[in-house]
A and B are shown apart, each in its own frame.
Chain A
Amino acid sequence: MVKNKILIVEDELDLLGVLAQKFDMEKFEVFKAANGQLGLEEALKSHPDLILLDIIMPVMDGVTMLKMLREDSWGKDVPVILLTNLSDESKIAEAMQHGVYDYLVKADWNINDVVAKVKSRLK
């Protein structure tokens, strides 16, 4: 069975670690990146089926990465789910204009529900 590929872009390394571990256990092929620039490079190289994308990150933030991703012929259609914090409200609105499947406030979610959301998009 071909594994679904997921790219997780998140600068909080503990969160990145636990998400990567979980999706690995759920039989995903997991790619990780700790900021938008690394995320963009990884996305264009490994062509994941879905991207979980944090918004506020050093070097390159999630919104900038999303805009650049959408300019690419492959990247324009890849489903993206935003990983957000409460303080990101204005950024979420901006990101939504660039074709985002959905967003979730990390602290309000159980990890199994995050997985369920990803799987429901990939069905």
Chain B
Amino acid sequence: MSKNLKILPVICLFALGGLLFFLGAGWLGANQKMAYVVSFILLENVVLLLYLFASVKKIAKLKKDELMKNDFISFVSHQLRTPLTVVKWNVEMLEDETTDKLSTKQKQFLNQIRLEEKQISNLVSSLLNISRLESGRIKIDPMPEDILAAISETVNELSAYARAKHCSISFTKPNLSLPPVSLDKALFKQVILNLLNNAINYSKSDRCGVKVDFKDAKEYYMISVADDGIGIPPEACERIFSKFFRAENAIKANSVGTGLGLYMTKLIVEISGGKIWFATKNGTGNKFQEKDGTTFYFTVPKKGMKKNTGSKGLLV
């Protein structure tokens, strides 16, 4: 949007130039001053053309920089995967070799290495996914699916993790018979998984109940994930979907986190033709909700997710 706005003054000046030309012609008639006006306007337009050319070049450079940054992230992420694999395999072998021989403390050390490796691997996968989404290289291959079954499936997949965190997820499948919806199931499920993971990870320590809902809303289906957790502070509301952003209370509640989950979720929803938003207890305006915690909403077009003929799938 900001790039388009930069061209706006140029277009306005061109229009002004044209207007001056006609006014000049009208006021001065066919006398000698006309020649000055025409020369002035011609000169002005040449300057404006040069400005326009420079702007276009600048935009092209920005796009090129963006692509280079994307390539760089993709390259580094790929390069990190090999050493991480070597670490993972060595730890695995060490564990196999030393079962029953290690003290509790030594086992803790090994466990720590394994956890850290897993964390970096997840970060690398997230960076690669974002690079694929941002550059449009992601493959979106929608197939006719039972959308309600896909939601249930995702909820079930996460229920063991939720239980381990003393959390319950409820999804009451509505009694609707819907036609199949064109979904890229892996991407659709990833959106719900990310939202459910956040709902569980940012719950209050004394309780955790997550509720998933489904609504038929004209041209869209709307899915919501409501938690009764720590909520989003007012100052964080505008930035919650930004890349690498984490709210202060989220960092306190859970030190592990990349600030990439909601950014990626938004990219997936929007690239496939939907919208995503939220309401929270401490929010203002349309971001406010009465009840505790936060509710995220996202839509899927009834006509299905947009197809994208990219070459790369999503890493999970």
Contact = CB atoms under 8 A, between A and B. Distances in A.
B2 to A, nearest CB: 33
Contacts of A107: 81-82, 84-85, 121
A111 B83 CA distance: 14
B44 interface: no
B82 A106 contact: yes
A41 interface: no
Nearest to B75: A87
Residue among A87, A107, A110 with max Cβ neighbours from chain B (10 Å) = A107
Contact of A87 (B78, B83, B97): B78
A71 interface: no
B interface: dominant SS? helix
B117 to A, nearest CB: 11
B131 to A, nearest CB: 11
How many chain B residues sit at the interface, stated as a range, is 10 to 19
Contacts of A21: 93
Given A86-B128, A89-B311, A18 B81 contact: no
B86 A18 contact: yes
Nearest to B86: A14
A12 B89 CA distance: 14
Interface in B299-316: 311-312, 315
Given A18-B86, A86-B312, 13 more contacts: A12-B82, A21-B93, A85-B81, A85-B82, A86-B128, A89-B311, A106-B82, A106-B85, A107-B84, A111-B88, A111-B89, A111-B92, A112-B96
Interface of B: 78, 81-86, 88-90, 92-93, 96-97, 121, 128, 311-312, 315
Interface of A: 12, 14-15, 18-19, 21-22, 25, 85-87, 89-90, 106-107, 110-112
